[in-house]
Structure 1
Amino acid sequence: MGSSSGSPPSWASEPCIMGIDEAGRGPVLGPMVYGCLYCALSYQHKLSSLNFADSKTLKEDKREELFENLKTDDSIGWATDIIDPRELSAKMLNKVKVNLNEISHDSAMGLVSRVLGLGVLLTEVYVDTVGDAEKYRIKLSGKFPGIKFVVAKKADSLYPVVSGASIVAKVTRDGALRDWVLEEVAESMNRNFGSGYPGDPATKAWLDHHKHMVFGFPSLVRFSWATCNPYFKDIVEVIWESDATDDEGCSTGNGKRQLKLGSVGFTGVKRKTEDIESSGKGRCKFFHSRKLEQVIHFS
């Protein structure tokens, strides 16, 4: 999370309102970001004059301008929760699955807890709904009984405090995607991934170009999304080295090719000596980016 301040503002002891919204729920690439904006209840009338609007209706430069303005406004506080695509996929594919709605609810409640923890007297919180609005409101009220919650569809276009939160979330996500470090660096990798939405032709082309027959996709990709499934029709079935024969590759009964993890890389180069394998040289970027080494001696 990031925020405007690590300590409560001078107006924190007054009754305060907060808005919560997200950006990047639908894309197959990049993080999902939850943002909140909060201020004294007495400042609420001023918010409507700051030209906040649903971030989706604003051009990028206008969103950036508004975000810079709110960051310098001492009467406004804000915070974000940036949820990594790897975390999204891991939770959604876990043995005990956590669906996207639950992840979203947890993030929103985490922001409320954080702002309360700063010493801000929250009395009203406005939330753009995820799932059934009334069930979500009951869930939030049960967790924070001292706060009045208003949960509504299109809250980002109804309440200026949520519009401000949507700008915080959207600008933060755009920045995270723009500055994303592609850990699995290979000569053929590029950043021409478009908007990250499944229907974007540029995003589709990027996914097709960057799929790996063993390791799937780079960590930028939410591999739990159904969008990714068609890219794995001919994926290699992997057997671990402890179960493998001495051959570099073998065939299974169903005719599919099986390869040892150590012999597959973005470069397509196979190294056969144990010394090179154990040192990690020439192995797939998957291992380097995660600082994984082959263990050959056990205590």
Structure 2
Amino acid sequence: MNTDYEYPFWRNTELVCGIDEAGRGPLAGPVVAAAVVFPRWFTPGRDRLSLLNDSKKLSPGLRMELASSIKASALYWATALIEPEAIDRINIFQATMLAMNNAVTSLSELPEMLLVDGNRFRPLLPIPYETIVKGDAKVFSIAAASVLAKTCRDAIMKEYARHYPQYGFDRHFGYPTGEHIRAVAQYGRSPIHRKSFKLKQLGEK
């Protein structure tokens, strides 16, 4: 992947920010968003960043390597998370929007243009933005944000696996796999489970 999508924006502005999230679908753990700003006219060379893609299409090992390269090459980057209690209180859509906005405001300097994965965004700041469906597979800075969000969240869930080993969070990362659903049926929900997410497999309505 290259930065062709960013180039038209760089003609008129300098700080173009890619935004993506990880963790909308899981039954447990936070939703995490990342914001990444690369230097103007940045072009990946023949290093690992040339392999950048939607984080879901990358192996865990390559994601970790790319996360290090992104942090080293980016002008600014930041992550932000919203915990399960807040997700239950304001709903997952609002929590995702808040995480994305918090990631932007956590940058060392506010960007001038936002490129956001998906088809919906609710900005809290008067910054121009564009939503791109499947942007994590099309836009370099969004793909970078998807990798940072995913690796950040995976690390959090691996830590939770140490505290709640019976759920297997280090394997499914909170997503509703068969293993996870069986664990919830046997042990009930842990403190990091989202109470507002219902499991029809367990008869919840």
Question: Shorter chain as normaliser: what TM range?
Answer: 0.7 to 0.9
Task: Determine the structure 2 residue equivalent to 1:46.
Answer: 44
Which entry has the higher C-alpha Rg, 1 or 2?
1
Task: Determine the structure 2 residue equivalent to 1:63.
Answer: 63
**What runs of 5+ residues in structure 2 fail to find an aligned partner?**
1-12
Task: Determine the structure 2 residue equivalent to 1:127.
Answer: 116
Q: Secondary structure at the match of 1:180?
A: helix
**What runs of 5+ residues in structure 1 fail to find an aligned partner?**
1-13, 92-97, 212-216, 234-299
Written as runs of structure 1 = structure 2, the 5 A alignment for 1:216-295 is 217-227=189-199, 230=202
Task: Determine the structure 1 residue equivalent to 2:142.
Answer: 162
- Count, aligned residues: 189
Q: Secondary structure at the match of 1:46?
A: coil
Whichever residue aligns with residue 171 of structure 1, its letter is T
Q: 1:64 Cα shift?
A: 0.7
Task: Determine the structure 1 residue equivalent to 2:132.
Answer: 152
Structure 2 residue 182 is matched with structure 1 residue 205: yes
Distance 1:151 1:232, change over 3 A: closer
Whichever residue aligns with residue 125 of structure 2, its letter is F
Given that 2:34 and 2:149 are in contact with CA atoms closer than 8 Å, whether structure 1 keeps it comes out as yes
Q: Distance in 2 between matches of 1:202 and 1:38?
A: 38
Task: Determine the structure 2 residue equivalent to 1:262.
Answer: none
Written as runs of structure 1 = structure 2, the 5 A alignment for 1:79-228 is 79-89=78-88, 91=89, 98-115=90-107, 118=108, 120=109, 122-129=111-118, 132-133=119-120, 136=121, 139-140=122-123, 143-145=124-126, 147-180=127-160, 190-193=166-169, 194-195=171-172, 196-198=174-176, 200-211=177-188, 217-227=189-199
Task: Determine the structure 1 residue equivalent to 2:27.
Answer: 28
Q: Deviations over 1:28-64 (max 9, x none)?
A: 1222111111122232x33897222100000111101
Distance 1:121 1:208, change over 3 A: closer
Q: Distance in 1 between matches of 2:82 and 2:98?
A: 11
Q: Distance in 1 between matches of 2:187 and 2:104?
A: 38
Q: Deviations over 1:5-27 (max 9, x none)?
A: xxxxxxxxx82111110111101
Whichever residue aligns with residue 148 of structure 1, its letter is P
TM-score normalized by structure 1?
A: 0.57
Q: Secondary structure at the match of 1:79?
A: strand
Whichever residue aligns with residue 117 of structure 2, its letter is D
Given that 1:22 and 1:170 are in contact with CA atoms closer than 8 Å, whether structure 2 keeps it comes out as yes
Give identity over the alignment, percent.
Answer: 25
Given that 2:167 and 2:180 are in contact with CA atoms closer than 8 Å, whether structure 1 keeps it comes out as no
Q: Distance in 1 between matches of 2:194 and 2:93?
A: 15
Structure with bigger helix share is 2
Q: 1:112 Cα shift?
A: 2.0
Whichever residue aligns with residue 46 of structure 1, its letter is P
Task: Determine the structure 2 residue equivalent to 1:250.
Answer: none
Q: Distance in 1 between matches of 2:99 and 2:45?
A: 24
Q: Distance in 1 between matches of 2:187 and 2:153?
A: 22
Q: Distance in 2 between matches of 1:229 and 1:80?
A: 33
Q: Distance in 2 between matches of 1:30 and 1:105?
A: 16
Task: Determine the structure 2 residue equivalent to 1:288.
Answer: none
Whichever residue aligns with residue 103 of structure 1, its letter is A
Tell me: higher relative CO, structure 1 or 2? Use CA pairs within 8 A at least 6 residues apart. 2
Distance 1:48 1:149, change over 3 A: farther
Q: Secondary structure at the match of 1:144?
A: coil
